[in-house]
Amino acid sequence: MSENNGNIEVVHNEGQKRYVISVDGTPAGFSSYVDGTDFRNFNHTVIKPEFRGQGLSAPLIKFAFDDSRAAGIRIHDACSAVAAFIKKNPEYQDLKK
């Protein structure tokens, strides 16, 4: 699954167990996870320094959550960026494990 919003694209790299956000074709960051028995543990989100301050973590995490929801997978928020996103976006509370 992928989403392209103008110059921003988010893709799910299942082999590396991460969601990757790119700007104008250049990888700008990722959110990685570990699969549990019935959930996906998001444990690390990184936006490269040269792309910080552009609001990229929100569309990255939103896409990862929407993709997980579509697959029927609940999430665990071990990553502080993921936990903060859930606090700001209560519509994703139902995904929490």
pLDDT digits (tens, 9 = 90+) for 1-60: 556 566 999 999 999 999 999 999 999 999 999 999 889 999 999 999 999 999 999 999
Q: What is the total count of domains within the chain?
A: 1
State pTM to two decimals. 0.91
Residue 21, domain extent: 2-95
pLDDT at 37: 87
Best CA proximity match to 57, nearest among 97, 20, 87 = 20
Instruction: Kindly report the CATH number assigned to the domain that includes residue 50.
Output: 3.40.630.30
Give pLDDT, residue 4. Answer: 58
65, 53 contact by CB (below 8 A): no
